[in-house]
Structure 1
Amino acid sequence: MGRSILVFSVVVVFLFSVAYATPGIATFYTTYTPSACYGGTQEGVMIAAASDTLWDNGRVCGKYFTVKCTGARNPVPHPCTGKSVTVKVVDHCAGGCASTLDLSGEAFAQIANPVAGIINIEYIEH
């Protein structure tokens, strides 16, 4: 009985988090170090820079976001791959940033055609 309740609770939490994904915009970049969060330390390639909206004086450093493409923001037809990607925030996408999350090129390519350059997304913080 206790195990059934645990499994049910996990499923409900998962469904609740999926239902409340936050809409945003994603772009991509190719320069990964130094970063605002980790200086010259490499943090892999599934990474992102956070916009001023998410930055919160660096409190978002090291947090993980699962990101999914939801559609085009320019004339590139059907840019989304249908996949999602989990990225670690390692940098700040400073003022004037065109996106909510500026993904690494590798992360962007997992969820969308890089030719698109900018896409609509939904993201969930973990």
Structure 2
Amino acid sequence: MLSRTAIIALFASAATAATVAVQASNYGDVTYYTPGLGACGQYNTDTDYIVAVAAGTFDNYPGATSNPNNNPICGKQIKVNYQGKSVTVTVVDRCAGCAGAADLDLSPTAFSQLANESVGRLYNAEWDYV
């Protein structure tokens, strides 16, 4: 039989786990790149609304295999919010140069929906899967 203290600890632990599981938003730096052939196996251009997610996010997405073309993250949509502006983009690539696990690399057209390209890097942008 569990003590009252043990029961309280179990409920507190379950509540903490539920809070973590519900947390949906990610925060990371956002840059832009020149698209081409992406890790998902398709060609894109500067005018497409696309994103390369950090290598850690791409590689550890549930169901990822050794063939990046078959990664279930490919084709997922992400909504990025920054200082009152937002853009929805499609995952088509893996960002090997993204230092943070939640960093993103957008196409120039998508980036320009959030800020002028001359800014170069957006710090602590919020994003989530749509």
| Structure of higher CA gyration radius | 2
Q: Which whole-Å CA distance do the structure 2 matches of 1:36 and 1:117 have between them?
A: 23
Map residues 38-53 of structure 1 onto 2, 5 A cutoff: 38-40=41-43, 45-53=48-56
Map residues 1-126 of structure 1 onto 2, 5 A cutoff: 20-30=24-34, 32-40=35-43, 45-55=48-58, 56=60, 57=64, 58-70=71-83, 82-94=84-96, 96-98=97-99, 100-120=103-123, 121-126=125-130
**Between Structure 1 and Structure 2, how many residues are aligned?**
95
Which amino acid letter does the alignment assign opposite residue 21 of structure 1? Answer: S
Measure how far apart 1:98 and its partner are: 4.1
The question of whether the paired residues in 2 share the 8 Å contact of 1:47 and 1:90 is answered with yes
Which amino acid letter does the alignment assign opposite residue 109 of structure 1? Answer: S
Which amino acid letter does the alignment assign opposite residue 119 of structure 1? Answer: L
Give the SS at the match of 1:68: strand
TM-score using structure 2 length: 0.63
For the aligned residues, what is the CA RMSD?
Answer: 2.3
Give the SS at the match of 2:105: strand
Q: Which whole-Å CA distance do the structure 2 matches of 1:41 and 1:84 have between them?
A: 21
Where do 5+ consecutive residues of structure 2 fail to align? 1-21, 65-70
Q: Hey, what does 1:75 align to over in structure 2?
A: none
Q: Which whole-Å CA distance do the structure 1 matches of 2:107 and 2:43 have between them?
A: 16
Q: Which whole-Å CA distance do the structure 1 matches of 2:56 and 2:48 have between them?
A: 22
Where do 5+ consecutive residues of structure 1 fail to align? 1-16, 71-81
